[in-house]
Amino acid sequence: MAQAHKFQDLEETGEALVAFITSSRPESLMRARREQQALLDQQGETKSIVAHILRDVSRVEEGAGQMLLDMEVEKKKMEVELQNVEEKLKQNNARNQMTDSELQFLQGELESLRENELQLSALQSEVDEDTTEVIPSAVHVAQLYHVITKMQWEYDSAPGRLTGVHYGADLATPINIDLSTRRRTEVSDQLWSFISTEW
């Protein structure tokens, strides 16, 4: 049924076309042909222009796509560089904090050393004063003891031992006393026994 309908349409179109051709004059047909050719030529030009435009659009789209890809790669590189810079900045800040702490510690140590130096200078001054006053008098007293007792002591003897020499009228007597085994009174009595009571 559908095919019969199509066939009938085709017959009607063919009849209309035959009627148009037989009723047309040759001039009209030539003009229609020229118009049809002009239309075909214009359609060809339009197709060529559209194809050229499409090629240009495709090139622009391809360039823009490549540019976007390049920009994305560059963006990733910059993000990596930024992360590296941030990491270096964190490390530098940590180093600066450590350096500041060390500097504060060293400044405290320097201040402590300066205070110690001042104390040592003060002690040295006191010792110098005492030395100028005490040592000459101590030397004088030691010389006086030597003249009276006629004893000469060895100051480099072992700890816990008292060594020296007593120079009597006729002979020199060595002194060698172990202080760890004797009482102080015994040592004192022994030393006094060397001294003559005759004047």
The domain spans of the chain are 86-134, 150-194
* Predicted TM-score (pTM) above 0.75: no
As a whole number of angstroms, the distance between CA 63 and CA 23 comes to 58
> Of 188, 189, 164, which Cα lies nearest the Cα of 175?
164
Per-residue pLDDT of the chain (199 residues; tens, 9 = 90+): 555 565 566 667 666 666 666 665 666 667 667 776 777 778 888 888 888 888 888 888 888 888 888 899 899 999 999 899 899 998 988 888 888 888 888 888 888 888 888 888 888 877 766 656 555 666 677 777 777 788 888 878 888 888 988 888 778 888 888 888 888 898 888 888 888 776 5
Structure token digits, residue 105:
């510690």
Structural contact between residues 151 and 175, judged by C-beta atoms closer than 8 angstroms: yes
